[in-house]
Structure 1
Amino acid sequence: MSTESAAEQREQHRNGGDLVVETLEALGAKTVFGIPGQHALGLFDAMGRGNLKFVSSRVENNSAFAADGYSRATGEVGVLFLSTGPGALTSLAGLQEAYATGVPMVVIASQIPLEGLGARRKGMLHQLDDQKASAANVTKSQRLIQHASGIPSAIQDAWTDAISSPQGPVWVEIPQNVLLDPIVVPPVEDALAIAADNPPRVELVREAVKWLTTAQRPAIIAGGGVRRGHAEKSLLALAERLRAPVISTPGGNGAFPWTHPLSLQSWVEDRHMTDVLEDADVLVVVGSSLGEVTSNYFTFEPRGRIIQIDAEPRVLESNRPGLGIRADAGQALAALNAALEAFEQAGDGRPLKPDWHGKTPEQLVADSLAAVRARLESQDLAKELRFMADIRAAVPDDMQTFWDMTIAAYWAWSCWDARQGQFHSAQGAGGLGFGFPSAIGGAVGLETIGRPSRVLAVSGDGSAMYSISELATARQHNVPVTWLIVDDGGYGILREYMVGAFGKATATELARPDFVKLAESFGVPARKVAPEDVREALEAGFAADGPNVVVVETQLRMFAPTHLDVQ
């Protein structure tokens, strides 16, 4: 009795789902996240004949976070498979984070059969009036494929869209019958997706150089676009050429060397830093919208001129007027460096000699950081400072970390030195539940690209409950992730906001499980430790195999960013 080869079996049973799998493989996809569903069965059947690794989460929103974390950790496109209706809708909050942060993802969602499409026709299970319209607010583009022969080209175009700046998630949906029906389309042999070029306009670079070569107090805000554009080296070259102080936003954390003499680090929420940035006569804002956090909650009132560089045209001048340059951060900074170098070689104008009211830029940076440190030390925050320092000391220099919306993460936005690792947080959209599933995706991704490494996830007890089911995913795939849960008995940051605003907190306190026992019930080792023992516990967790959990019961406070708030 002969046994069919894999190739023969694939050829005999090929359907629209095979075209999806073949196209993704040709584009370089290796791993897919998601959950099977009734209308997507043809897709999952085809995946069994392909080479894609599938990681099944327990909730679709967490699948979206996992695909997001995979992309952030690897620099590759995250791929997400979704079922129709409830499954698709459940993913949207996770996709909002990817969209807000510019994470390239390709989302393949199933649809009801073609004959049922249209508002309330047929009355089929999972039916929506217009499913892709639901995704319009959280994805760059949406496509509906209505015939099998259109699958390869549509996915290739979607992939191109995802990787072209501004990067982001894209949505492709395919009806059930298009996935299931036999096809005559031959196997996909190649697919090509090249990011669209996004250079700055020549006249805008020329104008920016005029401003910068006459500036006495240039400064730079480095946002997440610097990291997405792989512009770290160009940013360093520009800062050193101008001798301009650089501050990184939460999304830009790691874009500039933390201990560099020109680094204002990431203390963007401290008023000392806002004062420095307001005093700049030319402020270069790269890859940031100057949004709520970066503008110190819209208290930022710059007195100088602004050069704003961003790949997303809707961001330019959205919060402050200035010279808006729509461009990929990497291409724009490279062009600025080249133009400034040409200016220097030509010997035009005066030498660049920045003067911050009698201080050198390096003196200004040192004094500003010292002022921030003094303010922190005046606020009875010894526990918080030690806690964050102990986490930093435990984490290896090259480890990637994933932070949920919790007080520890708010601290990390300002104080975390990413070193040779990468810092990832949910500050784009600010939804809960990002930390653990994104870390799972990140760890899976690092293994997939041949750089296996343990990662750290940090959550509060409130945000941990959003993704607690993913302990099963971590155990099933033996993912090397250590999950630090900081348990303060409620929504800590909301508690602090409400007490500050109203004198008391309402509806912030939570009943929660015994996280140690709950983790152990999934077969995941866990331990509870005192705050002062977090370093030792994390180091032990990092040395272990597979997933593990560290729980710390403590209530952290945020720092006050101005002297007016210090009692």
Structure 2
Amino acid sequence: MTSAGAATVTTVGEALISLLEAHGVDTVFGIPGVHTVELYRGLARSKIRHVTPRHEQGAGFMADGYARASGRPGVAFVITGPGLTNAITAMGQARADSVPMLVISGVNATPTLGKGLGYLHELPDQRGMMEKVALFSTRVTEAGELPGALARAFALFSSSRPGPVHIEIPTDVMVKPAQGLAAMLGNAAPPEPDATAIASAARLVAAARRPVILAGGGAKRAEDPLRRLAERLGAPVIQTANARGLLHGHALCVPASPSLKAVRALMAEADLVIAAGTEFGPTDYDGYGDGGFVLPANLIRIDIGADQLVRRRVTVAIHADCGEALEALLLQTSAVAGSESGAARAAATREAAFAELAPVMQAQVRAVEMIRDELPGSIIVGDSTQPIYAANLYYDHDRPGGWFNAATGFGALGYGPPAAIGAAIATPDAPVVCLTGDGGFQFTLPELGATLDAGAPVIFVVWNNRGYREIETSMLDVGVEPVGVSPAPPDFCKLAEAYGIGAQRLADIGDLPRALRDARATGLPRVIEITVD
């Protein structure tokens, strides 16, 4: 902030940008407003890229997709009041899937807070509301508090099970002088694997003859030690939806949901289960709500979150990052003779699991495989739509961390399009495909404009069955006459063209590979609509 003849004074808003840069932030997603103007002071002069969604929920979902694809925290700027409440859904999704997300918002001037005077965008207790969703929410009241607030957030992201964090800055604090603030850059890391726990786990491993490994989203960046341990033990590796892409095509890979009977049978026959980075959520382990999942009797559990480890009975708990814990187990099990039946058990389970799927689901899985095979190494970001549900049950992706969606856990509809934009910005060299349904796409359809603005070449594959078919089926299954499940879809191709984005409608799924190839060749965003009976 400057005036004629005056020295330059750094404000809290400007200091925020500099501190974010120091923490390695290169992109923020947000919609500026009168309550955040001062947070944008200095942004244009920084190296941080700003991406403007069409809705604050989109900002949160973009930050989520960016974080999942890059492994770094996604950052969103939103205004106080409706801007922040619009972002709550995205924060809920990030909380459910342990995604590092930093949401920075404004809040009304300090003297007005909590008085109910009717100021613009006023909430009775904004921070109190956010504390119910975020891992923590804090208010910066003085310039000197800003480095510590950011340091606390980034330390949490790097040392424990991550999720959304909220920092709010009152409008009168944003303009305060903030000379000489330095980033508090720490080296916060997860706890080291406890030697006693590793030794106990190693003894169980040495005695096991039919071991199985469960891999969850917490293991998606630990492919190398996971593979080496699985090969040493001859242990089939079962993957939840957020772990797909690990051990692609490997003889020990079981890319199938523990909700399937065949996978549960494999676990039941095991004399030891090693669970790495999975919270045993019902949408992964009891997707049909039949109560058929039983926690393994002999269970080694690895998790970065201490709170997770005490929520379920375990034989040995290892509080650590999955990669480090698996490496420690490898060191302690070098003399173990692995099971010779692992590959056969994995193959039988794969065959039986796929056979459990109804023919229509098998066809949907093959449609997803078309995307994978035509665009190797792609990131496929899903919404809640039938092919995603089917592939979450059974599908082998070819890129660790390259398959994620909102159809498990929190289950936010409309997640796919903006999250795919965030993923494309994070990984500009990878093909990014958003697989969404006609219902979910309409939740966040305006983000087509954002992908064009950002130059993010997302390929939007729209599975158009003219309604909420999964919900309609659920109603019919329990004898409820379907109501409200047939919202008329627009002409997606015409809407895409209205944004200046190329589009193509397919009547035959067999035309999808060629359409994907042509779309990728353009290097531009594209919409491919598949009409489904």
> TM-score normalized by structure 2?
0.93
What one-letter code is carried by the residue in structure 2 that aligns with 1:483? F
The partner residue of 2:516 within 521, 534, 538 is: 538
- Give the Å deviation of 1:370: 2.4
* Conservation of the 8 A alpha-carbon contact between 1:516 and 1:528: yes
Q: Does 1:424 align with 2:424?
A: no
Given that 2:467 and 2:486 are in contact with CA atoms closer than 8 Å, whether structure 1 keeps it comes out as yes
CA deviation string 1:523-558 (max 9, x = no partner): 111111122322221221111132110111115xxx
Q: Could you say what secondary structure the match of 2:242 adopts?
A: coil
Q: Separation in 2 of the partners of 1:199 and 1:398?
A: 32
Shift of 1:380: 5.9
Q: Tell me how far 1:504 sits from its aligned partner.
A: 4.3
Contact 1:89 1:134 in 2 (8 A): no
Residue 271 (str. 1) matches residue 261 (str. 2): yes
C-alpha separation in 2, matches of 1:9 and 1:158: 38
Choose which of 90, 101, 108 in structure 2 pairs with 1:94.
90
Whether contact under 8 Å (1:268, 1:293) holds in the other structure is no
Deviations 1:240-291 (A, max 9, x none): 1111111100011123x12211112224332111111111111111111112
Matched position secondary structure for 1:109: strand
Which of 216, 236, 249 aligns to 2:209? It is 216
CA distance in 1, matches of 2:61, 2:516: 23
Q: What are structure 2's unaligned runs of at least 5 residues?
A: none
Q: 1:453: which partner in 2?
A: 430
Of the candidates 427, 430, 435, which is equivalent to residue 416 of structure 2?
435
CA deviation profile, 1:480-520 (whole Å, cap 9, x unmatched): 11111101111122122222222643321111211111111
Which of 188, 192, 198 is the equivalent residue of 1:199?
A: 192
The corresponding residue for 1:560 is: none
Partner residue of 2:370? 390
2:531 is the counterpart of 1:553: yes
Secondary structure of the residue aligned to 1:124 is: coil
Contact 1:282/1:306 (<8 A) preserved: yes
1:127-149 per-residue CA deviation (whole Å, 9 max, x = no partner) reads 11221222223322111100122
Relative to structure 2, which stretch is displaced further, 483-492 or 317-326?
317-326
Rounded to whole Å, the distance in 2 between the matches of 1:512 and 1:40 is 36
Partner deviation per Cα, 1:311-347 (whole Å, 9 max, x = no partner): 2223225355443322221221121111212xx2xxx
For residues 52-91 of structure 1, the aligned pairs below 5 Å read: 52-91=48-87
SS at match of 1:499: helix
In structure 2, the residue matched to 1:185 is 179
Q: How does 1:108-147 map to 2 (within 5 A)?
A: 108-120=104-116, 122-147=117-142
Match runs of 1:17-416 below 5 Å = 17-120=13-116, 122-181=117-176, 183=177, 185-186=179-180, 188=181, 190-227=183-220, 230-255=221-246, 257-297=247-287, 298-302=291-295, 304-316=297-309, 318-341=311-334, 344=335, 352-354=337-339, 360-376=341-357, 379=359, 383-394=363-374, 396-416=375-395
Task: State the distance in 2 between where 1:444 and 1:390 align.
Answer: 24
Partner of 2:490: 513
From the superposition, tell whether residues 272 and 112 of structure 1 become closer, same or farther in structure 2 (CA, over 3 Å).
Answer: same
Write the deviation string for residues 463-488 of structure 1: whole angstroms up to 9, x where unpaired: 10111010111122221111111011
Taking the aligned partners of 1:434 and 1:159, their CA distance within structure 2 comes to: 24
For 2:146 and 2:311, how far apart are their aligned partners in 1?
Answer: 37
Matches within 5 A, 1:468-487: 468-487=445-464
Q: Aligned partners of 1:223, 1:10: CA distance in 2, in Å?
A: 56
Structure 1 contact 217–282 (Cα < 8 Å) conserved: yes
Cα contact 1:220–1:244 (8 A) shared by 2: yes
Name the CA distance, whole Å, in 2 between partners of 1:385 and 1:160: 39
Residue matched to 1:525: 502
Work out the CA distance in 2 between the residues paired with 1:92 and 1:423: 23
For the 8 Å contact 2:208–2:272, the answer to whether it is kept is yes
Aligned residues: 526
CA distance in 2, matches of 1:56, 1:20: 19
Change (3 A) 1:510 1:250: same
Of stretches 487-496 and 85-94 in structure 1, the one that deviates more from structure 2 is 487-496
> Are the aligned partners of 2:256 and 2:263 in contact in 1 as well (CA < 8 Å)?
no
The gaps in structure 1 that reach 5 residues or longer are 345-350, 556-567
**Partners of 2:243 and 2:399 in 1: how far apart?**
14
Q: Give the SS at the match of 1:210.
A: helix
Contact 1:289/1:318 (<8 A) preserved: no
Supply the distance in 1 between the matched residues of 2:39 and 2:15 (Cα, whole angstroms). Answer: 9
| Cα distance in 1 between the residues matched to 2:255 and 2:243 | 10
1:390-446: CA deviations, max 9, x gaps? Answer: 22322x222211111111111222333321361121234211111110111111122
**Structure 1's 303 and 517: CA in aligned 2 closer, same or farther, altered over 3 A?**
closer
> What's the CA shift for 1:34?
0.9
- Cα shift readout 1:86-109 (whole Å, capped 9, x = no counterpart): 100110111111122122222211
Q: Output the CA distance in 1 between the equivalents of 2:28 and 2:164.
A: 14
Q: Is the Cα–Cα contact under 8 Å of residues 361 and 390 in structure 2 kept in the other structure?
A: no
Shift of 1:226: 0.4
Aligned-partner Cα distance in 1 for 2:399–2:473? 33
Q: Over residues 39-76 of structure 1, what are the superposed CA-to-partner deviations in whole Å (9 max), with x where a residue is unaligned?
A: 11101233234332110111111100101111111122
Offset at residue 193 of structure 1 (A):
3.6
Deviation at 1:522, TM superposition (A): 1.1
